[in-house]
């Protein structure tokens, strides 16, 4: 990479340095001395601190305080560069110099080290052995011993007596709607603040999503909004065919309050527990409370099969019907006869092998993610205006993702500015899910707010950011992220 445009001189004004940093792909400038030798690097934060210390925009760059700079000789080996970045978690680039200390190149962190990802897969020791077994036995099919063993193991993880492993969480939700007879025009209540996969299957069925707002504590479906809507629709004679309740970012919704309401009105409950495997509510696993529940084993979830999902229930008849629909709906006859429109939704025996190894680690992964959440909270809780998703009484979340909220009355900068700052340092963060009532696919959907004058989901969306939460996150990496967030809130 040519570094010419990133080099600034002692007499370059702070204003021009600022513009150069802004133009630079690595958001950094190299300040040289009067002989052209490396003096220091300058990032946005350095300028901000200098301005606060009284340096003005028209002052020359030579007024910046001197600073240790991390540099390496131009022909440094890759593994030495890796070690240099690891030993200096706060730098996002290393300057390369020649033997006279003239800067000749710049290596961004992302070119050497994989960035810090939001929620990467975390494999254990035994997954590949189960996969190997599938190869050795030539069970490369959507059936086989790994698949049967995985469904068995899922029974205890989910607290359910019947389980069906599928190709995705979305497929599981789709089958749940099918076995409950949801069809064209039927209203289906659903959490408004969620990933689109919760709502898509309702649309596959040409059914009608009715979007229910969040409550501010757990960010999950608001019992107040649910009750108001049920009362209204009962009076109009248009109660929903089902309610899909999401356990957002791994924290359980208030299932006690929700089930009291749905039982009163006779509405079946599907839990979208895609994000909450390993969490609990009232001493039972999250996903053990409604009529049917869906899990996801997508690559970013707390455990993964690369892609996959499951539908679970205590009702044998519903799971058997879903099993039939997941395998093209063949009638029980020798000849190929089909009376139902059905799908090819089964999980592969190869991927179930990954799932078997991953399930053994579920409790470890939950503990680690909860620990990561506690470290973020401890590291940020003194900052006025920062808050986190809460847990409802009698529940324990898996803290799949730590999501931090910034109160705009107390923190003037927008979370997306933090997202961009983190990105420039090779750290992935993501906005919170965009609520369904703000989505083009739900343009015509009805929406029930938490209270008449308060919409919670859109506020959470606009104020929140998901931080790296994977169980592989290193302690020093996390401290670095915390320092970035603290720095951001001061800016």
Ligand X SMILES: *Cc1c(COP(=O)(O)O)cnc(C)c1O
- Cβ closest to ligand X, residue 202 vs residue 484: 202
Among the listed residues 393, 418, 413, the one whose alpha carbon sits nearest the alpha carbon of residue 403: 418
Of the CA atoms within 13 Å of residue 372, those in its CB half-sphere come to 30
User: How far apart (Å, rounded) are the C-alpha atoms in residues 298 and 201?
Assistant: 17
DSSP 344-412: B-BPPHHHHHHHHHHHTTHHHHHHHHHHHHHHHHHHHTTSTTEEE----TTEE---SSEEEEE-TTT--
- Residue 411 Cβ vs ligand X, minimum distance, rounded to whole Å: 27
Closest distance of CB 417 from ligand X, Å: 26
Shortest approach of ligand X to residue 294 CB, angstroms?
7
Q: Which residue has the tokens 């059914």?
A: 207
Pairwise CA distance, residues 321 & 43, whole Å: 60
Applying CB under 6 A, the residues found at the interface with ligand X are 168-170, 194-195, 197-198, 246, 272, 274-275, 296, 298, 309
Which of residues 309 and 415 has its CB atom nearest to ligand X in the complex? Answer: 309
Compute how many other C-beta atoms are within 10 angstroms of the C-beta atom of residue 369. 25
HSE at residue 421, side-chain half, CA atoms within 13 A, is 23
Q: Of the two residues 17 and 347, which places its CB atom closer to ligand X in the complex?
A: 347
Residue facing ligand X at closest CB distance: 169
Nearer to ligand X, 170 or 313 (CB): 170
User: Which residue, 30 or 193, has its beta carbon nearer to ligand X?
Assistant: 193
Q: Looking at beta carbons only, is 185 or 299 nearer to ligand X?
A: 299
Cβ proximity of 235 and 470 under 8 Å:
no
* Crossing angle for the helix pair 127-136 and 349-359, to the nearest 10 degrees: 150
Cβ 451 to ligand X, closest distance in Å?
24
**What is the spatial distance between Cα 350 and Cα 128, in angstroms, rounded to a whole number?**
10
The distance of closest approach from Cβ of residue 193 to ligand X in the complex, given in angstroms and rounded to an integer, is 10
Q: Are the CB atoms for 468 and 405 separated by under 8 Å?
A: no
Between 139 and 400, CB nearer to ligand X: 400
Whether the CB-CB separation of 477 and 86 falls below 8 Å is answered with: no
Q: How far is the CB of 168 from ligand X (least distance, A)?
A: 3
Query: Is the Cβ of residue 103 or residue 169 nearer to ligand X in the bound state?
Result: 169
| 263 burial via Cβ count (<10 Å: 0-12, 13-18, 19+) | exposed
Provide the minimum distance between the beta carbon of 176 and ligand X in the complex, in angstroms, as a whole number.
Answer: 11
Phi, psi of 243 (to 5 degrees): -120, 130
| Strand partners of residue 190 | 211, 244
* Smallest separation (angstroms) from ligand X to the CB of 483: 29
CB of residue 191 to ligand X, shortest distance in Å: 8
Nearer to ligand X, 12 or 170 (CB): 170
């Amino acid at each position: 990479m040519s570094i010419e445009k990133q080099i600034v001189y002692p007499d370059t004004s702070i204003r021009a340095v600022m513009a150069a940093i802004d133009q630079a792909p690595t958001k950094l400038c190299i300040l040289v001395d009067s002989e052209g030798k490396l003096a220091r690097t300058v990032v946005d934060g350095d300028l901000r601190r200098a301005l606060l210390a009284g340096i003005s925009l028209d002052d020359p760059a030579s007024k910046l305080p001197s600073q240790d700079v991390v540099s390496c000789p131009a022909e440094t080996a890759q593994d030495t560069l890796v070690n240099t970045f690891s030993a200096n978690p706060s730098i996002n680039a290393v300057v390369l110099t020649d033997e006279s200390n003239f800067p000749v190149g710049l290596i961004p962190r992302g070119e050497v080290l994989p960035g810090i990802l939001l929620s990467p897969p975390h494999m254990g020791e035994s997954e590949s052995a189960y996969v190997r077994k599938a190869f050795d036995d030539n069970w490369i099919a959507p059936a086989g011993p790994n698949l049967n063993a995985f469904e068995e193991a899922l029974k205890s993880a989910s607290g359910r007596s019947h389980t069906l492993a599928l190709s995705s969480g979305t497929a599981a939700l789709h089958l749940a709607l099918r076995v409950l007879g949801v069809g064209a025009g039927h209203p289906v209540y659903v959490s408004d603040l969620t990933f689109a996969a919760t709502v898509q299957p309702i649309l596959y069925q040409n059914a009608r999503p009715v979007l229910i707002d969040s409550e501010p504590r757990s960010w999950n479906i608001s019992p107040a909004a649910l009750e108001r809507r049920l009362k209204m629709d009962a009076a109009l004679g248009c109660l929903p065919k089902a309610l899909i309740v999401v356990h957002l970012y791994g924290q359980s919704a208030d299932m006690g309050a929700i089930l009291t309401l749905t039982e009163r009105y006779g509405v079946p409950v599907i839990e979208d527990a895609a994000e909450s495997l390993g969490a609990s509510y009232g001493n039972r696993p999250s996903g053990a409370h409604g009529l049917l529940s869906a899990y996801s084993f997508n690559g970013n979830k707390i455990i993964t099969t690369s892609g996959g999902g499951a539908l679970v229930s205590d009702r044998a008849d519903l799971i058997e019907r879903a099993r039939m629909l997941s395998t093209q709906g063949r009638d029980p006859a020798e000849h190929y006869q089909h009376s139902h429109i059905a799908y090819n939704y089964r999980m592969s025996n190869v991927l179930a092998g990954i799932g078997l190894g991953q399930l053994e680690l579920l409790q470890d992964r939950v503990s680690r993610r909860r620990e990561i959440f506690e470290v973020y909270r401890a590291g940020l809780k003194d900052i006025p205006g920062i808050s986190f998703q809460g847990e409802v009484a009698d529940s324990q979340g898996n803290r799949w993702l730590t999501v931090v909220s910034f109160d705009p009355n107390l923190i003037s900068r927008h979370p997306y500015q933090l997202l961009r700052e983190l990105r420039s340092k090779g750290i992935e963060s993501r906005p919170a899910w965009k609520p369904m009532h703000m989505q083009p696919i739900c343009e015509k959907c009805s929406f029930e707010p938490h209270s008449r004058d308060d919409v919670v989901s859109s506020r959470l969306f606009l104020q929140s950011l998901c931080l790296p939460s994977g169980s592989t996150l290193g302690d020093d990496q996390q401290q670095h992220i915390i320092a970035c967030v603290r720095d951001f809130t001061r800016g």
